Amino acid sequence: MNTRPYAAARRTLSIVDKLYEVNWGLVLLITIIACVGFAMQYSVAGGSFTPWATPQIWKFVIGFFILIVVAMVDVRVWLDLAYPAYAASLLLLIAVVIAGHVGKGAERWITMGGLGLQPSELMKISLVMALARYLHGLSVEDVSKPFRLLTALAMILIPAVFVFLQPNLGTTLIILADGASLLFLAGLSWWWIAPALASVAVAIPTAWQFVLHDYQKQRVLTFLDPESDALGAGWNITQAKIAIGSGGLTGKGFLGGTQSRLNFLPEKQTDFIFTNFGEEFGFVGCIALLILYAVVIGYGIQIANNARSQFGRLLAMGITLNFFFYLMINNMMVMGLIPVVGIPMPLISYGGSAMWSVMFGFGLLMSVHVHRQVEIPRHSGGII
């Protein structure tokens, strides 16, 4: 019989206790998926670690330490820091609109100390933290009260508007989906949900006419009929489909993808990295990779279910759903099931801000797991 005390049941844990409680199985899965990303960055560069694989490895190493450090911090501290993190992310979003770096037609970057930062990536995590804290203090009945609901909607819509103005439609959709999901999980009444869904349906024609930019409209039209301009607006999605389809059942083998090596694939190291994977490893490889992602999501749901505090449950589910939306939108985008919206493949696509925000999110998820026995009164703060 194991006589070791259950460390997580104590309110004060040592660093050794916390490291013991880390879900190393989940960490291993995350590392395996990231290694797939390194291999793909090596492949799309024609069998070279430069210019993408080596920087990506270092970004993951930094992200790994971020994950562990964040996991060691008491979940009640993250409760206390939720609103300040949200406010800081919102200020950075405003700074992007005022003095952001223009990249490929969109102001999404801001330079701080020589480091390019994408505040919209931080906002996705900060919103989950802040909304989880806000909803933690409400009963199921309170969530559906008009004033309480309006406050939550303002927390969601304000950053969504600033991200949309960059413009960044894909991240805007994830922010809205994250917020709506947390409201639903917190117990929002269907008397609010049903009219909201109807309003969205009614608003689509208005959004098409007055809200969407011309290039965003073109993406929708291209999605509906990519072959109408296969050499122009439809080039990206057409080549992505060709790459995935040419992989067949088992693929052409590692480094055997012709679409990327001959530079037919658009954004082959970022948004469309999954198409290169599909070409080289085929249907079987794609299913295996998606199973790994599904297991990670399953871990996240289990961690949320095991948390004793409402904040922990909502935070864990919010982080897990944010990861799921990342994955779902990118996969559907590259397969031509939805219009191209510029969302990277989590842990695999090249990029620092996306990698670090995902790893920070997993750190929060792990903090919930390590401190899962910590109880937080519904109408109180944390420990700061």
Which residues partner with 289 through β-bridges?
none
Residue 382 lies in a domain: no
- Domain count of the fold of the chain: 1
Residue 2 lies in a domain: no
Residue 14 belongs to domain spanning: 7-370
| pTM strictly above 0.75 | yes
pLDDT at 75: 94
Residue 379 lies in a domain: no
Residue 381 lies in a domain: no
Say what angle helices 352-370 and 273-306 make with each other, to 10 degrees. 20
pLDDT mean values, one per 10 residues, the chain (384 residues): 41 83 96 96 90 94 96 95 96 81 59 70 94 92 90 94 85 92 88 75 74 72 66 72 85 82 73 90 95 97 95 96 94 84 89 90 96 81 48
Which residue type occupies 104? K
Residue 251 lies in a domain: yes
Q: What is the pLDDT of residues 181-214, one digit of tens each?
A: 999 999 888 777 777 777 777 777 777 776 677 7
Residue 376 lies in a domain: no
Q: What is the pLDDT of residues 48-61, one digit of tens each?
A: 998 899 999 999 99
Residue 1 lies in a domain: no
HEC states along 122-152? HHHHHHHHHHHHHHHCCCHHHHCCHHHHHHH
pLDDT at 3: 38
Residue 309 lies in a domain: yes
Average pLDDT score, the chain: 85
- Report whether 366 contacts 70 (CB < 8 A): yes
Neighbours of 117 (CB within 10 A): 21
CA 340 – CA 328 distance, rounded (Å) = 13
